[in-house]
Amino acid sequence: FRQLKTLISLYPDISRDVLGKIVMEVFEEPSFPSAPSNYINYTKTYRLSFLIGAGLVILIVVLYTYYHDTIKNKWELEDKLDTKLITVFYHEKSYLNLKERLLRRKKRLLTGAPGVSFNFSETVKKLRTNISYYQDKTKGKVILFTSYASKEGKTTMAANVAHTMAQKKQKVLIISGSHESGDLLNILNINLPKKFSSEKSNSVAERIYTKPDSTLSVLTSHENTRPGEFARFIASEKFKAFLERAREIFDCIIIDGPAAKDNSNTEVFARLSDFSVMVVRQNMSTSTNINDTADMLNK
């Protein structure tokens, strides 16, 4: 401590002798950073992250679509399914124009309706011709339209075939195979009289409504019918007896059946039908499920 104290006390004399008249100046004031030197461009980062994320999503969708065992085109259908291809319907626009799209008002997919393409109408006629040919070959009158899952287009196909057969002056009965008949009636542009929605009739024949100036008739369930009650009705001897009488009156009986997935009613209708038409929507149900449904219908 004494040594240090001595050095400190002598420092002024020593520095005066050593440094003399040297003047020391500050060349640059010390500066301290106010922001990171490696600044992150958030806008560029966000854009890059979005592009990478979008690319990954597209890649996942492509891989899922490629490896998911669905029917992607008619060639895959012939390779993967153990059944016969009747015809192929190509995509039909659901809206007439932008205004209708904004109002969420879909057009009626029925031959002859406004906005329905010529290609769609001609394909329906081709389907009708093939079915009529098969009817003549098998002498069958009762045809079941079904699919594995809902929203595959079976009601649209059933309604259009019934409609075009009626245009050929054939007596056609289309039966709603569900306790809800709204979609079928909307496609056919049928508004049932109040008595059909407000009264329950013990007679099945009294539930038949014939479209004015047409040979097309429709049989729907009562709007208050419960699913369990409807299932018992179609499995009853009363309904079987009605179908036998209907065979004598009508040239063709089309059943707009429910989807086979988780619905035993499809099997009941299949037993009552002479043959079945299964509608397969592109890239929706797996080929395994479709083949299982075809096996059930064949049995």
Buried-state track 204-232, b at ≥16 Cβ within 10 A, e below 16:
beebbbeeeeebbbbbbbbeebeeeebbe
Convert the pLDDT of each residue in 264-295 to its tens digit: 899 999 999 999 999 999 989 999 999 999 99
**Residue 82: both structure tokens together:** 């153990």
Separation of CA 297 from chain center: 23
Instruction: Provide the CA 293 distance to its chain's centre, in angstroms.
Output: 18
Q: Check residue 289 and give its pLDDT.
A: 92
- Give the C-alpha distances (Å, rounded to integers) separating 289 from 108, 155, 220, 259, 279: 29, 20, 28, 12, 13
Please determine, for residue 30, whether its predicted confidence score (pLDDT) is greater than 80.
no
**Least confident residue range of 33-37, 239-243, 251-255:** 33-37
